[in-house]
Amino acid sequence: MPLPVVRRAGALPDKLKGLWRSRITAGVVASYANTGVGMVTNFVAIPIYLKYLGREEYGLWMTISGVVLYLGFLNFGITQATENHFGAAVVRQNREEQSRVLSTGFWWYLSIVSGAILIVAAVEPLLPLQALIKGADGLVATTRRVFLVTSACYLLELPFRIFPGCLRNIGKIDVQQWLGAAQALAKVIVAFGYLALGGSIVGLIVAISATNIAFYAASYVIMRRELPHLSLGVRHFDSSLRKDMAGPSFFFFLLQVSGAICVSTDAVVISSKLGTEQVTPYSIAQRIGTLAIALVTTISTNFGPSFLRAYSKGALTELSALFKRAMLISIGVGSALTAVLLLAGPWFIPFWVGDKNYVGFLPYLLIMAFVLMQMVLNPCDRLLTITGNHRTYAVFAFIEALVNLGLSIALVDRFGVAGVVMGTLVARVFIAAPVMLWQSWRLLRGPVGRPADLAVRTV
């Protein structure tokens, strides 16, 4: 069966012509600038946090942040589904549909998180949060306040995160990345100013969250400049469209669940088993790895709109060429960057934040191995999710997350922090990674079925 072609209402407006390809270079440059700013601001911010908050309170913040990530389950894949549908609607030049998609996704998500905030506040007194802070009994009262505020702020941010993704999917990758760079810089300035004035960790979390929401809202303002007809009004909410999005959203939801478990598991296990203080050196090494992954992820991210356009047209040859190019760049840059981090990290981290905040060579080596694996798999992830061929991948990613959790708990007592990271790495290598590579190869080899996840109703 030939790959169906998404119908188009006509040529794209002059402002959007060529954005899908011509902005790849501009997007990559802006993305690297964004990642570079992110690295610099993190190198500045972490010592500031350690100075004003202390090792235990910073470790508490990282641990609670890991727990709060589980609230991302409430995404139900709405963000990715909205972004993909919106990008397809722009390709089709369907103005009414663009507003319906954006409004439906945003207000649907906002209603979910509003209810979730009330539920979290109601059940918080029943949660055994003290079990997460081994060796930090003096932080019990602070833990509950940090949990409530972090949860509320995280949930409120979620619907607004739709806007940067939609801005990216209409080809404005460079603008979205420059906004991200400004956001990273603004957060450091806000954090430093607030802490220097004697602010507490709870107020710091609120200030950072408010900064994030302001920049997410700026993405919507920019979209309105590109698409003046776009409206977020409640009148555009379409319950039938929400139902159309529910199927693909479920598998995006599985990916969200899997990601939350994988990201948050390590810090939670370390804090509850080894002590809250041990989270800090692990989190610092992980943060370096995350920044490295982000640097390479920009490659596949900037290829994303081109993947979507080629797939929507049924141009598998073009799609295959784009994917190979993204993969080669990711592997090359990723390998070089990982080698640099592996050689420089063991002496740089102690110099940067002190010997006691260095996680140790074996855990650091394992973290870098996981980082390299992620860099290789990033193009696969982007290809499968943006084209809607992520269902099998989502199922195996969820299985990976459960295995990751089980292995981390089983190995932590014997190997310490290294055992926790080992569980994460083994689960990724033997469960999700082979499926991602196979599914990507299968997609590029020949015709596939109807891209249900990109099928947006035509008015």
pLDDT of residue 127: 79
pLDDT of residue 244: 67
pLDDT of residue 387: 82
pLDDT of residue 205: 93
Measured distance CA(35)–CA(294) in Å, rounded: 7
pLDDT of residue 454: 43
Other CB atoms within 10 Å distance of the CB of residue 137: 8
Cut 0.95: pTM above it:
no
> Which residues have CB under 8 Å from 14's CB, separation 6+?
none
Residues 278 and 417: beta-carbon distance below 8 Å? yes
Measured distance CA(268)–CA(423) in Å, rounded: 14
pLDDT of residue 213: 95
Q: In Å, what is the CA distance from 139 to each residue of 59, 60, 126, 128, 146?
A: 11, 8, 17, 13, 10
Residues 73 and 253: beta-carbon distance below 8 Å? yes
pLDDT under 70: residue ranges of the chain: 1-25, 27-28, 72-73, 75-77, 133-138, 243-253, 256-257, 260, 262-263, 446-459
> Residue 355 has which token pair?
């010997």
Using only C-alpha atoms, what is the Rg of the chain?
22
Measured distance CA(169)–CA(221) in Å, rounded: 15
pLDDT of residue 27: 67
pLDDT of residue 422: 93
Q: For the chain, which residues make up each domain, given as ranges?
A: 14-448
pLDDT of residue 4: 41
List the end-to-end C-alpha distance of the chain, in Å, as a whole number: 26
> Any idea which residue has 């920049």 for tokens?
215
pLDDT of residue 2: 40
pLDDT of residue 447: 56
> Residue 412 has which token pair?
């932590």
Fill in the amino acid letter for 295: L
Residues 187 and 212: beta-carbon distance below 8 Å? yes
